[in-house]
Amino acid sequence: MADVVISGSDFAGQGTSSTGSEVSATVDGVTFTCDKAYSDDAHNTLRCYKNGVITITAPEKIGKLVFQFYSTYTGDLDTEVAVNANEWTYTLTSQARIEQVTVVFGDAPVPVVTLDTVSVAEAVEIGMALDDNAKTTKDYVVAGYVVKAYDPKEDGSQTWFMADEAGAFGEFEAYFCTPDEAVAENDFVYVKGKIQKYVKEGKDPQIEISNGTATHGAPQGIENIVLTEDAQKVIVDGVVYIVRDGKMFNLTGAQVR
């Protein structure tokens, strides 16, 4: 079966913009449904809200889904998702704005996802090397201390600034990211998403992850932990710890020794 493309325009006129409602579109026998969404007709995108459930069904086995998003509003969806079934269901933990999804049939290899964890300083270095308003093609996990936090929004998203040391200047921004629980000053958190160099006319560049996710503990899938010069990684009984200035910390940032 040939690939099927479902675009944001296929949902034109559907849903409610305030809270979202169920929308659905069928193209060549493939049906895409989201129970908490609305069609942003001005941008030809489907805006799916946090906690919205996306379901895609097809008459044949779906190998993979290839998403295209509006700007950086990817939510927690990957660009490519292996399915290998006739139906795929996913519950969003943050908002996603979908321009289109390509449904590819057959068998698809299940990708092995590894995430590089970088310090705030390293994230800023990566971001500054980008073109203005560009973002990385891969996800990173930025680990650091919260030095300034704004109140959470009704949808659970929150904005805060981060640094490698508690109380330092927050040179990295987590913009409208969704944490596992509300963050506060001095929390040590891990923010996952694509690093972006946001440039507003007349302003200095802001390096950020927008619409990403965050945890107070290290997320699953981390292969490479990148440390600052004054710290080292040690493994004790199969558990990873960070040693800095003679003190030992676990991956949530809590001192254990």
Domain ranges of the chain: 4-105, 115-226
Predicted confidence (pLDDT) at residue 223 exceeds the cutoff of 50: no
Predicted confidence (pLDDT) at residue 254 exceeds the cutoff of 70: no
Question: Is the pTM for the entire model greater than 0.85?
Answer: no
pLDDT of residue 156: 85
Q: How far is CA 189 from CA 24, 62, 71, 159, 227, in A?
A: 36, 36, 25, 13, 15
* CATH no. for 115-226: 2.40.50.140
Do the beta carbons of residue 224 and residue 114 sit within 8 Å?
A: yes
pLDDT of residue 239: 56
Compute the average pLDDT of residues 110-134: 83
pLDDT of residue 245: 60
pLDDT of residue 257: 60
First and final C-alpha spacing in the chain? 59
Compute the average pLDDT of residues 23-42: 95
pLDDT tens, position by position, 61-115: 999 999 998 876 776 677 888 888 999 999 887 788 999 999 999 887 655 455 6
pLDDT band at 58 (very low <50, low <70, confident <90, very high): very high
Mean pLDDT of the chain: 84
pLDDT tens, position by position, 157-209: 999 999 999 889 999 999 999 998 999 999 999 999 899 999 988 889 999 99
Cα(121)–Cα(78) distance, integer angstroms = 25
* CATH no. for 4-105: 2.60.40
Predicted confidence (pLDDT) at residue 230 exceeds the cutoff of 80: no
pLDDT of residue 55: 96
